[in-house]
Chain A
């Protein structure tokens, strides 16, 4: 735990002082603010459903940029040798990298809470879907950060890491599209592995344990595989 705290401090420092983080935050908030204002003026309805789907897409596109450095940069610069020869468990290194990326995702989501506050101040929104939407985005952020950390551990090239993450995220997003072509029971597998299928219910105000389990189990699997990848040397 002591080493995890030290590593987390280092990773948070590196993440929150990185120009990439500020570029990503700027894009995220500007695009979201534009969409929020436009939707509100056109529909005059106090809900965030459209914004949640927008955030879903933005996270899929932007999280690869936040996680690509995690291990790829350490390998490229050679600092991985310092880190991996210190008396620190591999799992602590993986968790510190993951938590730092996840913290930035949480910061982005935290900044977007202003939209909910504006709706609450000037309208009368249904809070159920808003709570559900934010829970879904937190779970989605954890999953994306974990998978991004995994792909970053597979290469020393940041661009390759980001492109691989994006590819995996898009495949997970559209996994259910292929279900029409697959025989039973593979079609069910494709549907159940789909990212969007486990996201939409939250945004409409329905919460299922199976959806929470999907995000948590996939994130844990990605972190486990990252730890195995580090140990395989």
Chain B
């Protein structure tokens, strides 16, 4: 019998309330190192809130979340150093060039000044951004913007990558590219991605966590879930 690798992300009875509304309610889960976990649920189910809590953008109203053993509230700097985060819709500084932006984010995420150029070049090559490195971000297509957003999250070689709706607004070719990138990353870091598209999670994740109105309904391995659509419909 093989034992599971130790969890790198733990969420322990996390609740988040916004202005009287419960966005996430008593959610608990663990994610082992190297896994791709898909957060699946309709809009407003709490996926983005959960990712924001893990990224340290939001504090839980109650409960705790840890990344690589660091509490996201009590040890935010240590936790954030272990995280690469790509928010929904790939927000970027449009007035900057791609290389300027990546250098900035690399420095902010702790890459030393002498190494940031090398890291930017390596990540840009990996994400096929070499041709647009000198281009202003405002001139990029949706697909390139998404790649730049993922690139900034990988600069510091994070242990955990959080992707919020990574294929939102992409064309089919870009969706396939993003999927293969996530599959490629799976061996090197833990990936938690949110999506409201069943096929997306089915094709990329090792396990799926289904959320509805802030409640975690189930966490299942994809191997033991041959028909995700039927499971989703039965639960929601």
Contacts and interface: CB of A to CB of B under 8 A. Distances in A.
A29 to B, nearest CB: 24
B80 interface: yes
B85 interface: yes
B80 A85 contact: yes
B192 interface: no
Given A17-B95, A81-B52, A81-B91, A86 B105 contact: yes
B105 A81 contact: no
B37 to A, nearest CB: 19
B108 A78 contact: no
Nearest to A76: B91
Given A85-B83, A86-B80, A233-B57, A79 B107 contact: no
Given A82-B87, A82-B152, A87 B110 contact: yes
A113 interface: no
A49 B77 CA distance: 49
Contact of A81 (B81, B85, B93): B85
Contacts, number: 59
A44 to B, nearest CB: 47
Given A81-B52, A81-B85, A6 B91 contact: no
Given A14-B95, A17-B95, A86-B109, A78 B58 contact: no
Q: Which of B78, B89, B95, B104 has the most CB of A within 10 A?
A: B104
A79 B109 CA distance: 15
Interface in B27-67: 52, 55-59
Contacts of A86: 80, 105, 108-109
Q: Which of A6, A78, A85, A89 has the most CB of B within 10 A?
A: A85
| Dominant secondary structure at the A interface | helix
Contacts of B110: 87
A10 interface: yes
A109 to B, nearest CB: 26
A18 B77 CA distance: 31
B91 A77 contact: yes
A211 B76 CA distance: 39
9 nearest CB pairs, A to B:
A78-B91, A87-B80, A86-B108, A81-B87, A85-B55, A6-B107, A87-B77, A79-B91, A87-B81
Interface residues of A, number: 20
Contact of B104 (A10, A77, A85, A87): A10
Given A10-B104, A78-B87, A85 B93 contact: no
A79 B81 contact: no
A88 B83 CA distance: 13
A84 interface: yes
A85 B93 CA distance: 15
B92 interface: yes
Interface string B70-103: 0000001110110101011101111100000000
A20 to B, nearest CB: 12
Given A85-B85, A89-B77, 5 more contacts: A77-B94, A79-B91, A85-B57, A87-B81, A87-B110
Contacts of A17: 95
A146 interface: no
Nearest to B93: A79
Q: Which of A2, A3, A83, A87 has the most CB of B within 10 A?
A: A87
Given A17-B95, A84-B57, A86-B80, A7 B108 contact: yes
Nearest to A77: B91
Contacts of B52: 81
B76 to A, nearest CB: 8
Contacts of B88: 78
A3 B58 contact: no
Nearest to B76: A87
A82 B151 CA distance: 13
Contact of A233 (B59, B85, B104): B59
Contacts of A7: 108
Contact of B58 (A10, A89, A233): A233
A35 B78 CA distance: 55
Contacts of A81: 52, 55, 57, 85, 87, 91
25 contacts: A2-B107, A3-B107, A6-B104, A14-B95, A17-B95, A78-B89, A79-B92, A81-B55, A81-B91, A82-B85, A82-B87, A82-B91, A82-B92, A82-B105, A84-B57, A85-B80, A85-B83, A85-B85, A86-B80, A86-B108, A87-B76, A87-B78, A87-B81, A87-B108, A87-B110
